[in-house]
């Protein structure tokens, strides 16, 4: 199971809070896993890949919808790759009508979204699920990624430096560092996202076989 894209948290019927994630990395992971013979569910808040026979696509928009979809689909899954950029916050209230422009400043109250991985630990037996997270960082790269690995109880985390324009969110290429609780497992130099996906799956495969 793969998650992809950046969630959109509505402010009113026409506006939302979002991020720059394109879903390309998640799409690549789903495509490469499918080509390798896996049964793949792609839970995405972005545009999924074109017609791909055998790929089970679940479309979502918000962090809550993605969390619900993950929990519905995770039973029976062996691997979960959380490549999506899930919003950390959402508007505390959503206007049912379009908010009109007005003079002066405008404050928007935010509240935390659900931690999908934390909710998953309560809902299912994590011993049967190999979980891979992503850390899109701009500073203190290794330290932040390792902290997330520990806090989320992940088996692996994939780190990429989104401050670099050549591998930032939305780019066609990526460069990642794969980390386990023992430290850096592999570094995949800048290449296409399909090649990065193949490299990530190559690290995962022997750990679940």
Give me the residue spans of the domains in the chain: 2-88+110-208
Catalytic residue among 19, 27, 160, 174: 19
The per-residue pLDDT for 121 is: 72
**Alpha-carbon gap, residue 72 to 10, rounded angstroms:** 23
What 3-state DSSP class applies to 126? helix
As a whole-number percent, the residues of the chain with pLDDT over 70 amount to 97
Structure confidence at residue 50 (pLDDT): 78
Q: How confident is the model at residue 120 (pLDDT cuts 50, 70, 90)?
A: confident
Superfamily of domain 2-88+110-208: CoaB-like (3.40.50.10300)
Angle at 83 between CA 139 and CA 53, to 5 degrees: 155
Provide the pLDDT for residue 135: 96
Is-catalytic flag, 144?
no
Token pair for 114: 């659900």
3-class secondary-structure state, position 136: strand
- 143, burial (CB in 10 Å: exposed 0-12, middle 13-18, buried 19+): exposed
Q: 119 burial class (0-12, 13-18, 19+ CB within 10 angstroms)?
A: middle
pLDDT tens-digit series, residues 69-104 = 999 998 889 999 999 999 999 999 999 999 999 889
Query: Would the pTM of this model clear 0.85, i.e. be above it?
Result: yes
pLDDT band at 117 (very low <50, low <70, confident <90, very high): confident
Whole-number Å distance between alpha carbons of 134 and 193: 14
What pLDDT is attached to residue 119? Answer: 82
């Amino acid at each position: 199971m793969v998650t992809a894209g950046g969630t959109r948290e509505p402010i009113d019927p026409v506006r939302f809070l979002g991020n720059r994630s394109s879903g390309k990395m998640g799409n690549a992971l789903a495509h490469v896993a499918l080509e390798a013979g896996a049964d793949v569910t792609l839970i995405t808040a972005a545009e999924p890949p074109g017609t791909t026979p055998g790929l089970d696509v679940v479309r979502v928009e918000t962090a809550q919808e993605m969390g619900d979809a993950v929990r519905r689909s995770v039973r029976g899954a062996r691997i979960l790759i959380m490549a999506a950029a899930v919003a950390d916050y959402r508007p505390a209230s959503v206007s049912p009508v379009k908010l009109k422009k007005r003079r002066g400043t405008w404050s928007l109250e935010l509240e935390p979204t659900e931690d999908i991985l934390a909710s998953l630990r309560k809902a299912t037996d994590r011993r049967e699920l190999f979980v891979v997270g992503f850390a899109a960082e701009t500073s203190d790269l290794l330290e932040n990624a390792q902290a997330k690995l520990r806090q989320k109880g992940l088996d692996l985390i994939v780190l990429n430096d989104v401050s670099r324009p050549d591998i930032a969110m939305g780019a066609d290429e990526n460069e990642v560092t794969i980390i386990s609780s023992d430290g850096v497992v592999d570094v995949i130099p800048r290449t296409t996202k399909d090649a990065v996906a193949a490299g990530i799956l190559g690290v995962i495969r022997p750990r679940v076989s």
